[in-house]
Chain A
Amino acid sequence: QKEVEQDPGPLSVPEGAIVSLNCTYSNSAFQYFMWYRQYSRKGPELLMYTYSSGNKEDGRFTAQVDKSSKYISLFIRDSQPSDSATYLCAIQNAGNNRKLIWGLGTSLAVNP
């Protein structure tokens, strides 16, 4: 079993839809959860960083963590064509020199 599982998609939605992106992880020692957005041929851009169960909201983006189920989600409200990108979850354990464990990334297309 991979440490972090993420469905690579592709996911295609109409403009204005609510998008749900998800990752599951296997190690309960993982404590820190990130979502990155990556446009084609660009570096990953940090969207959300959380470390506790529950929801964290930033504009149209909501990150949700359920540590009991080892499940994290990113919701995008009122999706726009400019949201078309690959979304990667990344998870860290506690301790020094925390290494990121990455999901495969989900490719999202928002159609006008």
Chain B
Amino acid sequence: DTEVTQTPKHLVMGMTNKKSLKCEQHMGHRAMYWYKQKAKKPPELMFVYSYEKLSINESVPSRFSPECPNSSLLNLHLHALQPEDSALYLCASSQDPSGELFFGEGSRLTVL
């Protein structure tokens, strides 16, 4: 079982909704990541938090807003999404920004 926990597992939202995805890890890792994955494609990096500070933003639209309340938690706030944003959103963590990544099970998002 993965030690990176993501909630919810499934989310359906309209284009005017505001929702959040949550991620938690208790491995003492200091780097956390959000990835987006479309069907039959590899994961695409969205954001990296290193020691609770945003260190990488891969030019993600502002309708996605990350937040790292503490070293164990990572949120992704969603607002005014488009149907093409429907995807599997993966959270990952690593011991530090240079280590191997461990992924959660993902949150499958559908935007209507």
Q: Which residues of A contact B (CB under 8 A)?
A: 8, 32, 34, 36, 41-46, 49, 88, 90, 92, 95-100, 102-105
The listed residue (A36, A42, A99) touching B106 by CB distance below 8 A is A42
B42 touches A103 (CB 8 A): yes
Q: Report A-chain residues with C-beta under 8 Å of the C-beta of B104.
A: 43
Q: Report A-chain residues with C-beta under 8 Å of the C-beta of B43.
A: 44, 102
Instruction: Give Cα A49–Cα B101 distance, bound, in whole angstroms.
Output: 10
25 contacts between A and B (CB under 8 A): A34-B101, A36-B103, A41-B108, A42-B105, A43-B2, A43-B6, A43-B103, A43-B104, A43-B106, A44-B43, A44-B103, A46-B100, A46-B101, A90-B101, A92-B98, A96-B98, A97-B50, A97-B98, A98-B97, A98-B98, A99-B45, A99-B56, A100-B101, A102-B43, A105-B42
Residues 25-47 (chain B) with a chain A CB within 8 angstroms: 40-43, 45
Nearest B residue (CB) for A49: B100
A43 touches B97 (CB 8 A): no
B102 touches A41 (CB 8 A): no
- What DSSP secondary structure best describes chain A's contact surface? loop
Known contacts A98-B98, A100-B101: A41-B42 contact under CB 8 Å: no
Residues 66-103 (chain B) with a chain A CB within 8 angstroms: 88, 90, 97-98, 100-103
Given contacts A97-B50, A97-B97, 14 further A-B contacts (CB under 8 A): A32-B100, A34-B100, A41-B106, A43-B88, A43-B90, A43-B103, A43-B104, A43-B105, A44-B103, A45-B103, A46-B103, A97-B98, A98-B97, A99-B45
Most buried by A among B2, B50, B55: B2
Q: Report A-chain residues with C-beta under 8 Å of the C-beta of B6.
A: 43
A88 touches B42 (CB 8 A): yes
Instruction: Give Cα A80–Cα B65 distance, bound, in whole angstroms.
Output: 41
Q: B21 on the interface (CB 8 Å rule)?
A: no
Instruction: Give Cα A98–Cα B31 distance, bound, in whole angstroms.
Output: 11
Q: Report A-chain residues with C-beta under 8 Å of the C-beta of B106.
A: 41-43
